[in-house]
């Protein structure tokens, strides 16, 4: 459903990729994640997340600050510019989802939503906060 961002890529009016949109959406819900935590939630490798973080920092979408307890860990926050871009991205995605779901009945849309949620749940198993804290300590 979120492929409108990917289809537009960097040439679109929003200027963000699907991976950037996903990472920023995660940070919108839980700012201050480390790169490792963000990689696990995004279901990408730490190396891929490192490159993604670098591009988002360069584009002023996020900023990173050292963790108070362990200054080697850098935590990510959306910038004001990043929050604005994300808000615009949400609007574009919502319009596409509305158009896509308009061909389904209410019951079909509900069934589809439940199936997608189950699939997403399967992908995000094992990304709990306790796991993240232990992994960041190592």
pLDDT per position as a tens digit, 13-26: 578 888 999 999 99
pLDDT tens, position by position, 63-79:
999 999 999 999 999 99
Q: What is the pLDDT of residue 129?
A: 46
Burial class (CB in 10 A: 0-12, 13-18, 19+), 95: exposed
**Higher local confidence (pLDDT), 10 or 19:** 19
Residue 79 counted as domain residue: yes
| DSSP per-residue letters across 4-49 | HHHHHGGGSSS---HHHHHHHHHHHHS-SEEHHHHHHHHT--HHHH
Range in 40-49, 84-93, 111-120, 121-130 with the lowest mean pLDDT: 121-130
The pLDDT value recorded for residue 63 is: 98
Element (H, E) at 58: helix 46-58
Q: Structural domain tally of the chain?
A: 1
Place of tokens 């949400």: 90
CATH classification of the domain holding 29:
1.10.10.10
* 138 lies in some domain: no
- Is residue 54 within 8 Å of 62, Cβ to Cβ? no
- H helices, E strands: number in the chain: 7, 3
Averaged pLDDT of the chain: 84
Q: Is the pLDDT of residue 112 over 50?
A: yes
Domain assignment present for residue 62? The answer is yes
- Angstrom distance (rounded) from CA 115 to CA 109: 10
Domain that holds residue 45: 3-133
Cα dihedral 117/22/97/13 (nearest 10):
180
């Amino acid at each position: 459903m979120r492929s409108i961002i990917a289809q537009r890529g960097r040439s679109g009016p929003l200027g963000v990729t699907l991976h950037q949109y996903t990472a920023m959406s995660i940070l919108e819900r839980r700012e201050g994640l480390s790169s490792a935590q963000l990689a696990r939630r995004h279901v990408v490798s730490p190396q891929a997340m490192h490159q993604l973080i670098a591009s988002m920092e360069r584009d002023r979408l996020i900023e990173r600050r050292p963790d108070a307890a362990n200054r080697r860990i850098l935590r990510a926050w959306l910038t004001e510019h990043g929050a604005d871009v994300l808000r615009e991205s949400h609007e574009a995605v919502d319009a596409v989802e509305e158009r896509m779901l308009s061909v389904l009945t209410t019951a079909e849309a509900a069934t589809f939503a439940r199936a997608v949620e189950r699939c997403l749940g399967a992908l995000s198993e094992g990304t709990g906060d306790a796991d993240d804290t232990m992994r960041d300590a190592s």
